[in-house]
Amino acid sequence: MLVLQGTIPFEIITEQKITMWLFIYHLITPCFIFCLAEEGNKGYGPVFEEQPIDTIYPEESSDGQVSMNCRARAIPFPTYRWKLNNWDIDLTKDRYSMVGGRLVINNPEKSRDAGKYVCVVSNIFGTVRSSEATLSFGYLDPFPPEERYEVKVREGVGAVLLCEPPYHYPDDLSYRWLLNEFPVFIALDKRRFVSQTNGNLYIANVEASDKGNYSCFVSSPSITKSVFSKFIPLIPQSDRAKVYPADIKVKFKDTYALLGQNVTLECFALGNPVPELRWSKYLEPMPATAEISMSGAVLKIFNIQYEDEGLYECEAENYKGKDKHQARVYVQAAPEWVEHINDTEKDIGSDLYWPCIATGNPIPTIRWLKNGASFRKGELRIQSLNFDDAGMYQCIAENTHGIIYANAELKIVASPPTFELNPMKKKILAAKGGRVIIECKPKAAPKPKFSWSKGTELLVNGSRIRIWDDGSLEIINITKLDEGRYTCFAENNRGKANSTGVLEMTEATRITLAPLNVDVTVGENATMQCIASHDPTLDLTFIWSLNGFVIDFEKEHEHYERNVMIKSNGELLIKNVQLRHAGRYTCTAQTIVDNSSASADLVVRGPPGPPGGIRVEEIRDTAVALTWSRGTDNHSPISKYTIQSKTFLSEEWKDAKTEPSDIEGNMESATVIDLIPWMEYEFRIIATNTLGTGEPSMPSQRIRTEGAPPNVAPSDVGGGGGSNRELTITWMPLSREYHYGNNFGYIVAFKPFGEKEWRRVTVTNPEIGRYVHKDESMPPSTQYQVKVKAFNNKGDGPFSLTAVIYSAQDAPTEIPTDVSVKVLSSSEMSVSWHHVSDKSVEGYQIRYWAAHDKEAAAQRVQVSNQEYSTKLENLKPNTRYHVDVSAFNSAGYGPPSRTIDVITRKAPPSQRPRIISSVRSGSRYIITWDHVKAMSNESAVEGYKVLYRPDGQHEGKLFSTGKHTIEVPVPSDGEYVVEVRAHSEGGDGEVAQIKISGATAGVPPLLLVLLVPALGVLACSGF
C-alpha cells in the first residue's frame, strides 16, 4: 500500500487507483504548462520605470529621513525588496518603511545606512535587480579656530594665500575670498585668481591697494553649506617696483575625462608685469568647443570627444621672461550600448542567441543575471529552449567608469498551428507570365511542417512550383491554368490547421515607349519619355529613379517634373540640368501585381570636376612640386589648371605663382615658386574648360617648406630711459612669416658712442621686442649706438640701421626744501614745496599717512615738475598725519623731505539747520532758521553760508552771515532754491533747503503771511 497526503482526506489507494492518478497527472501537466504559456502572453515581467540614484544625505540635516525610489510596471503587480551591501534589508524594523517600491529610512545613521542599495522586483514571470545606488553622508567641517599669520610681501612680488579647506565630503567645493568683511568678495581679474582645485588665492604682483584682511569662503553645493576661514592679514611692503619674469604656480595635472563631459584646466602665473597667458594643443588645433575665460587662466572644453585627447600647453609670458607647463588630457568613456537585449518570444525547442554589445574605454566586460541571480559571462547562447529557460534576464556591461543594465523577458511559446491572426489572402492576383509568392504564416510553436494543394491535387516541388522553408508557395511563368483554390496545411506535435485562398491571373504590365539617351549642357532642360500598357482593371503608377535611387518629386520640384495629364504616360521633365543630374534614369511602370522597367542615360556637359590625388613632392625653402590626377572633364576637354595656396596666417585661398606660369589641361604636375621659407602651406587645384571653372580639389596634406636664414631686419630700433644703471633697447618684432626657420630670435648689438667693439646679446623669444642691459658701472645719460638683427637655425639675417639712444639717468639726489602743509578743513590740506635743481626730475611724489598707521600704508599723490603745490583730499577729521615730499624721474625716487606732522580739523557740524519760516515781504523773502549746535567732536559754528540758485541749476549767488536769518529777492520767473548750511573751520555742514516762487496770484497778502511759514516748516520736514 502507498499513503498519499494532499488536499483530500487521507485514504488507502490500491495499485489500480495509483495507475489512474499517474495517467491523469501526465494528461494534466502538459495542459497546465500550455495554459501557463498562454497566460504569459497576457502578462509580463517587471520593467523598471524608476530606479534608485546616488544620494548624498547631509549629516546636519533636520529632515530625519532619506528615501530611495524604485518603481516598476508588471502584470501581475510585482513585489519589492531591498538589499544593502548585498544583504537583505529587514523591512519589518521601525526605522524602515515602504511606499510602493520606495524605501524610506528614518533617522539615517552613517555607520548603519551608508552603502550600496539595490531594489529587487519580482512577479510570476521573474525577477530583476535595479542598478546600484550609493547612499553617502555629506559634511563640511568648520575651519580651525586658530588665527592665521599675517603675510608681508614687497610690492611687485607675487603672493599666494593658502585656503587649506577643512575636512569635507563630497569633493565638489567652490571657493571665493572675502576682503575685510562679509559679503565683500574680491573681484577676479588678470592679476588675481582663485583656483577651484585647492581654493588658494594667487596674486600675480602685489600692489598697495591689496592691503587688507582675506578669508577663504568655501561652499558645498551638495549639502548647501558654506564656511569661511579666519582672516589672513596681507601687508604690502613699500618698495621701488621691480620686474619679475613669469612663473607658473597653478599647474593643471594629467587629466582623465569621460566622453561628453566638460573639462576644466587651470593655469596662472606670478610676475611683474602681469604675464599674458596662452593655451595651445601640441601639434594640433584647439578643440572647437574650447573656451578660455578668467583672463586666460581657465580653459574649458565642453562635451569633450576622443579627438580632443592630447597634450595641452599653457604659456605665461611678460617682457622679463616666460614659463611653460604641459600635461596630457586622456578621454575615456563609461559603457554605452551598441546592441542590447529586448523582450523576446522563442518557440520551445528552438535555439537562442542574444547579442549584447557595449562600447567604452576601457572595454566593458559583459555578465548576465537571470531572475536576479548570477547566470553567465560573455555572450549568451542557449540551445533547445524549454520552459525552464523562461524568465527575466539582465545583461550588465561595466568598466572602471560605470555600469549599465539591459533588461528583457524571455518567453517560451508552445502552441498548435492557427491562422486566426494571420489567415491567407482570400484573393491572390498574379500577372500573366510573371511570378507569385503565396504566403502561409500561421502562429505555431514549435515550427510546423507545411504542405500545399490546388483543389484536390497535392503540390510538390517542380520546375515551376516551389514550397519554401517558411511555408510560402512560389509559382513562376504564370498561365491561365494556374488559376484556382490553393490550400496551405501546417502541422506540429501539438496540432494542425489549414487556410485557403483563390489565385487569379491579370494581364502583364509592359513598357511600350522606353526613354532614350539624352545629351545636354548645364542649365538646359531634358525630357525622358515613358509609356506603358497594363491590365485595365488595375491602377498604374510610374516611378523614376536615378542611379538606383528613387526621385522625390516633392523635394526636387525645382528640377524634376512629370506628366500626370495623360493616362499611361510617365514622361519626365528635368529643368535647369546640373552636373549632379547626370546618370542612368530608370522608368518603372507598376501595378499592385507586377511592374516593368526601362532605362536610359542622361549626359550632362559642364565645367570640369575637381582634380584628385594631390601630392606635394620635392619640398624646398621657396618651392614645391605638385602632382595630381585628372578629374572628370564632364564631356568638355580641360583647357587649364589653376593652383591656389593657403597658410595658417590667413583663411583666404590665393592663386600661387607656378612654373610653367600657364598650366595646360593635359598636364598633371607643376612647380609652385616664391613661397615663404619654413611656412605651413596647403594647396588645391581648380580645372577650367570652355564651359566654365569647376569646383576646387580637396586641399593637399599640410606641409612646411624648408627653412632659410632671415632676410629682413627688425624695424623701429630705439629705446633709452629705464631704471638707474640700465640701457633699454626696443625694436618691432618680426611677424611669423619672416621667421624663415626654427629657433628664431634676435641678436642685439650695442656700444658706447665712439668705441669700436660691439657688445652682443641674444634674445630667444621671437615675440619680444625689448632688451634691458644692466651694468652698475654704466654712466647715466650716456650715448649708445644700437642695432638688431634676426637669426634662426639656418643662419643670421642683416642688421638694422644703427640707432642712437641714451642710458638711464640717475634717480634724483636732492631733497625738496621749504615743505609746508596748511590744513584747509577736516578732510583737506594743502602741501607746497620748492623745486630741486636737477633738470632730469619728471615730477614730485607726496606721501601721507595717519599717525596710527604704518609708513608702508602711506598713500601717494604724484604731480608733474611744473607744480609747486597740491591739495590732499578725503582725509579723516581730527587725525594726525605725517607728510613728506620727494622728487622722481624714470630712474626712480629721490630721498624724501623731512616729515611734517599736522592734525586735520574737527569734522563740520553734522546737524543741518532747521528752516522755521519763509515770509515774503514786498520784493524780498525773509528766511529764518534755528541755530546749529556743534557736538564735542565737531568744529564750532562760525557762521552760515546761503546759496540762492534757480531750481534745476547748481550755480547761484552765495551769501555769508553770522545771523539766523537772511533776505533774498523774490524770483522774477520760476522757482528758486535757498540752501542753508553751517560753516566752521572743519568745513561746511549738512544742507537744508527750501523752494520759493514769485507766483502769488489769487492769494490774499495776509493769508500769504500766515501760510508761508507753515509751508517752510513742511518743506524742511521733507514734504
How confident is the model at residue 933, as a pLDDT?
87
Give the Cβ contact number of residue 982 at 10 Å. 29
Q: Dihedral of CA 185/191/197/200: which sign?
A: negative
Task: Please name the residue that has the C-alpha cell 590625388.
Answer: 613
- Assess whether pLDDT exceeds 60 at residue 576: yes
How confident is the model at residue 775, as a pLDDT?
82
- What DSSP element (H or E) covers 64? none
Q: Dihedral of CA 348/349/353/356: which sign?
A: positive
pLDDT tens digits, one per residue of 378-406: 889 999 899 999 999 999 999 999 999 99
**Single-letter amino acid code for the residue at 145:** P
- Assess whether pLDDT exceeds 50 at residue 374: yes
- Percent share of the chain, pLDDT over 90: 63
Identify the band that residue 565 occupies on the pLDDT scale cut at 50, 70 and 90: low
376-to-85, 371, 373, 402 alpha-carbon distances in Å:
22, 12, 10, 20
Q: In whole angstroms, what is the distance from residue 289 CA to residue 291 CA?
A: 6
> Cα Rg for the chain, rounded, in angstroms?
48
Q: In whole angstroms, what is the distance from residue 587 CA to residue 762 CA?
A: 78
Please check whether residue 256 is in contact with residue 873, taking contact to mean a CB–CB distance below 8 angstroms. Answer: no
Report the range of poorest mean pLDDT among 312-316, 522-526, 1000-1004.
Answer: 1000-1004
Identify the band that residue 13 occupies on the pLDDT scale cut at 50, 70 and 90: very low
- What DSSP element (H or E) covers 875? none
**Single-letter amino acid code for the residue at 813:** T
What DSSP line would sit under 709-759, residue for residue?
------EEEEE---STTEEEEEEEPPPGGG--SSS-EEEEEEEETT-SPPE
How confident is the model at residue 653, as a pLDDT?
96
pLDDT tens digits, one per residue of 792-838: 989 999 999 999 999 888 888 899 999 999 999 888 999 999 999 88
Please check whether residue 618 is in contact with residue 704, taking contact to mean a CB–CB distance below 8 angstroms. Answer: no
Across residues 439-459, what is the average pLDDT? 92
Mean pLDDT value across the chain: 88
Identify the band that residue 94 occupies on the pLDDT scale cut at 50, 70 and 90: confident
How confident is the model at residue 337, as a pLDDT?
93
Identify the band that residue 238 occupies on the pLDDT scale cut at 50, 70 and 90: confident
How confident is the model at residue 272, as a pLDDT?
85
Task: Kindly report the three-state secondary structure assignment for every residue of 429-494.
Answer: EEECCCEEEECCCCEEECCCEEEEEECCEEECCCCCEEECCCCCEEEECCCHHHCEEEEEEEEECC
Name the DSSP letter for residue 111.
H
pLDDT tens digits, one per residue of 409-444: 999 989 999 999 899 999 999 999 999 999 999 999
Name the DSSP letter for residue 275.
P
CA angle 108–112–116, rounded 5-degree value: 90
Q: Among candidates 800, 745, 751, which has minimal Cα distance to 773?
A: 751
- Assess whether pLDDT exceeds 50 at residue 22: no
How confident is the model at residue 41, as a pLDDT?
52
pLDDT tens digits, one per residue of 677-698: 999 999 999 999 999 999 999 9
Report the range of poorest mean pLDDT among 32-46, 74-88, 927-941.
Answer: 32-46
pLDDT tens digits, one per residue of 938-994: 888 889 999 999 888 888 888 988 888 998 888 888 889 999 999 888 888 889 988
Q: Which residues pair with 10 in a beta bridge?
A: none
* Three-state secondary structure call for residue 99: strand
- Assess whether pLDDT exceeds 70 at residue 28: no
**Single-letter amino acid code for the residue at 762:** T
Give the Cβ contact number of residue 415 at 10 Å. 19
304-to-312, 338, 608 alpha-carbon distances in Å:
14, 20, 40
C-alpha cell, 274? 602681469
How confident is the model at residue 716, as a pLDDT?
94
Q: Among candidates 698, 659, 654, which has minimal Cα distance to 679?
A: 654
Identify the band that residue 752 occupies on the pLDDT scale cut at 50, 70 and 90: very high
Give the Cβ contact number of residue 896 at 10 Å. 17
What DSSP line would sit under 194-225, residue for residue?
E-TTT--EEESS--GGG-EEEEEEEEETTTTE
- Assess whether pLDDT exceeds 70 at residue 18: no
How confident is the model at residue 855, as a pLDDT?
87
Give the Cβ contact number of residue 330 at 10 Å. 12
C-alpha cell, 542? 510610374
* Three-state secondary structure call for residue 937: coil
Task: Please name the residue that has the C-alpha cell 493769508.
Answer: 1007
Cis link prior to 779 (omega < 30° from 0)?
no
Across residues 882-909, what is the average pLDDT? 90
Q: What is the pTM (predicted TM-score) of this model?
A: 0.50
- Assess whether pLDDT exceeds 60 at residue 29: no
Residue 717's contacts (CB-CB under 8 Å, 6 or more residues apart) are 729, 730, 731, 786, 787, 788, 800, 801, 802, 803
Burial label for 60, CB within 10 Å (0-12, 13-18, 19+), is: exposed
Across residues 159-178, what is the average pLDDT? 92
Please check whether residue 316 is in contact with residue 323, taking contact to mean a CB–CB distance below 8 angstroms. Answer: yes
- Assess whether pLDDT exceeds 60 at residue 1019: no
pLDDT tens digits, one per residue of 626-668: 999 999 999 999 999 999 999 988 899 999 999 999 999 999 9
Q: In whole angstroms, what is the distance from residue 144 CA to residue 216 CA?
A: 12
- Assess whether pLDDT exceeds 80 at residue 1015: no
How confident is the model at residue 408, as a pLDDT?
93
Q: In whole angstroms, what is the distance from residue 853 CA to residue 2 CA?
A: 111
Across residues 698-727, what is the average pLDDT? 90
Q: Among candidates 614, 707, 618, which has minimal Cα distance to 671?
A: 618
Q: In whole angstroms, what is the distance from residue 558 CA to residue 573 CA?
A: 11
Residue 895's contacts (CB-CB under 8 Å, 6 or more residues apart) are 813, 815, 886
pLDDT tens digits, one per residue of 926-938: 989 888 888 888 8
- Assess whether pLDDT exceeds 80 at residue 873: yes
Burial label for 474, CB within 10 Å (0-12, 13-18, 19+), is: middle
- Assess whether pLDDT exceeds 70 at residue 1008: no
